[in-house]
Chain A
Amino acid sequence: MKTLRDRYCIVGVGETEYSRGSGRTTRALAVEAVRRAILDAGLTARDVDGMMDYQSGDSTLANHVAPDLGIRLDFYMDVVGGGSSTEALVGLAMGAIETGMCRTVAIYRSMNGYSEFRIGGTGARAAQPVRGLDLAQVPFGMRSAGQNFAPTFMRHMYEYGTTSEQVAHVKVAHSKHASQNPKALLRERVSVADVVGSRWIVKPLHLLDCCLETDNATCLVVTSAERARDLRHRPVHVMGVAGRVSKPRLDFHWAHGPITRVAGYYAKDIVFGQAGIGPEDVDLTGSYDAFTFTTMLQLEEYGFCKKGEGGQYVSSGIIELGGRRPNNTSGGHLCEGYTHGMSMVIENVRQLRGTVDDSCPGAAEGVHSHDYAPGRCRQVKDAEIAMNLGWAVPPTGSALILRR
């Protein structure tokens, strides 16, 4: 297998505040996040010559963001898409640099996901006519992501006996992690009883099984390992990447079951093959927690446990800080805020640097207590390899393996 293992790095990360009402345009948000990531890398506007972003008609474009910051581009691309674009764009940025089109790429996502364009189809999207492929489901009152994904989880419960209580542990773990994260929107720790006692949104999903629609922008800066050596932080290397890997019948994935199988089934060999490692070698994961059970499905499909045993796995304590392989140590989409996948990569980069922004007095210098009591540390001890499990919909996913 051809691989670019360890030849590219994520050298800068940045984000705006996570809020439910930014009061700003997506252009303003993007400019702030991109600037922060460039400064985080120790670069200047002159050093960045590539820009990519993803959106679905709900955001600003690279050719508006770059000039605001005085960046002249040799390469840019605005990509249509949502979750799972994150890891795919890291791979495409590596490709753009590998071909010589540019040398350093800023990847951003900017969204007023709460106050302007809501993912569920309300807000500015509600008035659009229903046509084409949407006619196969939207007229039946199946429009939001929760409504779309619910039959997948229901069938998993039927086939494997998975329970609401088991997947509630994902929210419990992420809320524990968010309580150590000053940036998180929801910093209160919750219990399994809180999750299964919250009101139904679409069965089998309760309110607290669902992530938080959020306004924010986020950015990653990718460059060659050679260039990364002289930059500000310890470089974080890309070991492997898989982008928007899909199940058959992406138009209507329910036609090709088992519907409990998600895209990671196909992505795992690509990403682990490049990296030359297996699930046991991974110290922490960042999984796309649009809902509690999406995390479970991905962990299963990438082989962190056997297929069908995801419920037991996520309720075993393994995915919590202090457990063997913590997941979404920033609190993820369920608790930190919804970023379409970006924040979990940002968090893993900081974990591998050893500089997550928790409440440890020496956090910025990489001095951590590893005391996971409320309000304290969220740095994983000796984290060397981190993996991101990106998700768009059950049949499409991406993945990224990083090492320090």
Chain B
Amino acid sequence: MPEPVTYRGMTLLVPDNDSEWKEFYAHARAHRLVVRRCAVCGLLRYPPSHACPWCMDLGWAWHEVSGRGTIYSYAIVHHAIQPGFKALTPYPVVLVELDEQRGRPTPDEALRIIANLVRPDLTPEAEASVAIGRRVRVVFQDLAEHLALPQFTLTDEPPAGRVWRLSE
């Protein structure tokens, strides 16, 4: 069993029999963001799961996505719960809508992912820069030989749709 990874006081555990995350993190460590693609209907899904939520097929393959997307919603944590995050406050948590598969297979669905919004040096992005509609791309935070976390950072692309943030 691989060594558990300690990150900000948390123990991240991905045992050998973890058929959801082990390969996801190996790809992330090679700086590839992958999701599962159904072998039959071709739809992409995240987080890793064992059947297609649209056609119930069990067949799938890892599929690399561009890692580009738009902030769909967010939160700014001022009061950290986990002790290892206290020094980072206020830190943004973002819900990113990836460019692939937006509005498919129904208009309300999309490939979305939770992460932190970070600067290129992986420190939390300034709160004033976080807004729904802003464009982001994936970056990887290497934590161990076998594990990296996908994070997101702002790009200078024009925003997708209306830009909005909570007023101070």
Residue of A nearest to B11 (CB): A129
Asked if A69 lies at the interface with its beta carbon under 8 angstroms from chain B, I say no
- Contact present for B78 and A199 (CB under 8 Å): yes
- Contact present for B81 and A255 (CB under 8 Å): no
- Given known A-B contacts A200-B79, A201-B79, A154 and B114 have beta carbons under 8 A apart: no
- Contact present for B81 and A203 (CB under 8 Å): no
Asked if A100 lies at the interface with its beta carbon under 8 angstroms from chain B, I say no
Determine the chain B residues whose CB is within 8 A of the CB of A132 once the complex forms.
18, 20-21
- Contact present for B166 and A157 (CB under 8 Å): yes
- Contact present for B109 and A130 (CB under 8 Å): no
Complex interface residues of chain A between 152 and 201 (CB less than 8 A to chain B): 152, 154-155, 157-158, 199-201
Determine the chain B residues whose CB is within 8 A of the CB of A259 once the complex forms.
72-73, 95
Asked if B157 lies at the interface with its beta carbon under 8 angstroms from chain A, I say no
- Contact present for B18 and A158 (CB under 8 Å): no
- Contact present for B10 and A139 (CB under 8 Å): yes
Q: Give CA–CA (A141, B91) in the complex, Å.
A: 9
Asked if A369 lies at the interface with its beta carbon under 8 angstroms from chain B, I say no
Asked if A278 lies at the interface with its beta carbon under 8 angstroms from chain B, I say no
Q: Give CA–CA (A287, B132) in the complex, Å.
A: 29
- Given known A-B contacts A141-B88, A155-B72, A155-B73, A202 and B79 have beta carbons under 8 A apart: yes
A-B contact count (CB 8 A): 140
Q: Give CA–CA (A87, B45) in the complex, Å.
A: 32
Which of A129, A151, A254 contacts B4 (CB under 8 A)?
A129
Q: Residues 16-41 of chain B: 1 if any A CB is under 8 Å from the residue's CB, otherwise 0?
A: 00101100000000000000000000
Contact size class for A? Answer: 35 or more
- Contact present for A158 and B12 (CB under 8 Å): no
- Contact present for B76 and A255 (CB under 8 Å): no
Determine the chain B residues whose CB is within 8 A of the CB of A136 once the complex forms.
46-47, 113-114
Q: Give CA–CA (A154, B77) in the complex, Å.
A: 13
- Contact present for B49 and A135 (CB under 8 Å): no
Determine the chain B residues whose CB is within 8 A of the CB of A154 once the complex forms.
73-75, 132, 166
Asked if B85 lies at the interface with its beta carbon under 8 angstroms from chain A, I say yes
- Given known A-B contacts A141-B85, A143-B82, A255-B109, A150 and B75 have beta carbons under 8 A apart: yes
Q: Give CA–CA (A140, B122) in the complex, Å.
A: 12
Segment of A5-13, A29-37, A244-252, A309-317 in the binding face = A244-252
- Contact present for A248 and B77 (CB under 8 Å): no
- Given known A-B contacts A151-B73, A252-B47, A135 and B112 have beta carbons under 8 A apart: no
Residue of A nearest to B75 (CB): A150
Determine the chain B residues whose CB is within 8 A of the CB of A248 once the complex forms.
53
- Contact present for B79 and A131 (CB under 8 Å): no
Q: Residues 119-156 of chain A: 1 if any B CB is under 8 Å from the residue's CB, otherwise 0?
A: 01110001001111101111111111001001110110
Determine the chain A residues whose CB is within 8 A of the CB of B11 once the complex forms.
129-130
Q: Give CA–CA (A136, B116) in the complex, Å.
A: 11
Q: Give CA–CA (A53, B39) in the complex, Å.
A: 42
Which of A126, A130, A152, A257 contacts B110 (CB under 8 A)?
A257
Asked if A395 lies at the interface with its beta carbon under 8 angstroms from chain B, I say no
Which of B14, B149, B164 contacts A131 (CB under 8 A)?
B14
Q: Give CA–CA (A23, B110) in the complex, Å.
A: 48
Which of A130, A151, A157, A249 contacts B95 (CB under 8 A)?
A151
Asked if A362 lies at the interface with its beta carbon under 8 angstroms from chain B, I say no
Which residues from chain A sit less than 8 Å from chain B, CB to CB?
120-122, 126, 129-133, 135-144, 147, 150-152, 154-155, 157-158, 199-204, 248-249, 251-252, 254-259, 261
Listed from nearest, the 5 A-B pairs whose CB atoms lie closest are A150-B75, A151-B73, A203-B76, A200-B78, A129-B13
8 contacts between A and B (CB under 8 A): A126-B82, A140-B115, A142-B75, A154-B132, A203-B166, A204-B166, A255-B111, A261-B108
Q: A202-B79, A251-B49 are in contact. List 8 more A-B contacts (CB 8 A).
A: A121-B82, A122-B81, A129-B4, A137-B114, A140-B149, A147-B75, A151-B95, A249-B53
